[in-house]
Amino acid sequence: MVGWAIAVHGGAGVDPNLPTDRQEQAKLLLTRCLNLGISALRSSASAIDVVELVVRELETDPIFNSGRGSALTENGTVEMEASIMDGSGRKCGAVSGLTSVKNPVSLARLVMDKSPHSYLAFSGAENFAKQMGVERMENDYFITEDNVGMLKQAKEANSILFDYRIPTSGYESCGVGTVGCVVVDSQGRCAAATSTGGLMNKKVGRIGDSPLIGAGTYACDVCGVSCTGEGEAIIRGTVAREVAAVMEYKGLGLQAAVDFVIKERLDDGKAGVIAVSEKGEVAYGFNCVGMFRGCATEDGFMEVGIWE
């Protein structure tokens, strides 16, 4: 038996001028989600159940870029995506192009558990959602005023905007919101889940790293990993799989693996990673200005942070 561990994130790449009250809101949400996960772990919930539960909570709250509060496509619509992976057995499920599903991570779980496939997208995924009877909402549920404003700014700047950047500041910000959770339970089973609305002002149909197994999400016997940041860099670097691969093939420990991948596998890209190991360890790393994150382990350690 190993001690459980959990980590959550709400996106890497934070505007250093983010108002204090918004920082506090974010930290409160992260704390709440951690505590939700901790209660579940104390009741011996399995890692896969805990990651889903926690990401649902993150999706439902509009603060971060997933579910409600998702970034908008160039057409002002939402196209949400998510993936989930169970380290024991490495079953996985992913969805993209969702427009009405309240909790994308739960639909990803259903793809994993109740379909013959691993990944469903767009109208096929929406049909599956109807068949499964998951909770669905009208489009305006997901769209926040904040994001409508951000889209307008992005179009004016004619750029793809990472959520937390102010276009005029000239400040090198990185990453986008995305949310994620990784857990190792007391049986040593790891799991990971990631969910996002994607890039602000993205082209309709654009898929990022979050639903791609091996890129934004990965879990196996040795660890569970969820990433956030520049999707294209995370895909190219197969970041989530890479953390596990260097542990398996190079024998690196969890933190060393996370550090190695952030340093060596992102090229010029900006991203953040949270990870847990089968041994009950938790680790995170990021190469941009900040990452909304929280982590906790069974021995009582708990931390919520934004900056270095």
Binding site for other proteins (CB under 8 A): 90-92, 94, 96-97, 115-125, 127-128, 160, 202-208, 212-215, 218, 231-232, 235-238, 241-242, 245-246, 249-250, 267
Least distance (Å) between residue 151 CB and other proteins = 16
Shortest distance (Å) from residue 50 CB to other proteins? 21
Query: Nearest distance from residue 235's CB to other proteins, in Å?
Result: 5
| Cβ proximity to other proteins, 165 vs 293, nearer residue | 165
Measured in whole angstroms, the distance separating CA 178 from the mean position of its chain's CA atoms is 5
SS3 state at 62: coil
Question: What pairing do the DSSP bridges indicate for beta strands 119-121 and 91-98?
Answer: parallel
Confirm if 257 and 239 have CB atoms less than 8 A apart. Answer: no
At 283, give phi and psi (nearest 5°). Answer: -150, 155
CB of 246 to other proteins, least distance (A): 7
Instruction: Choose between 175 and 208: whose C-beta lies nearer to other proteins.
Output: 208
Of the candidates 116, 114, 86, 111, the residue with the CA atom closest to the CA atom of residue 97: 111
- Strand (E) or helix (H) holding 67: none
* Nearest CB to other proteins, comparing residues 143 and 235: 235
Say if residue 160 is exposed, middle or buried (CB neighbours under 10 Å; 0-12, 13-18, 19+): middle
Residue 55: φ, ψ to 5°: -70, -35
Q: Does 99 participate in catalysis according to the annotation? A: no
| Nearer CB in complex with other proteins: 116/300 | 116
CB nearer to other proteins: give 67 or 97: 97
Shortest separation between residue 214's beta carbon and other proteins, angstroms: 4
Rg (CA), the chain: 17
Check 31, 77, 99, 178 and give the catalytic one: 178
Tokens for 232, please give them: 């294209």
| Residues taking part in catalysis | 178
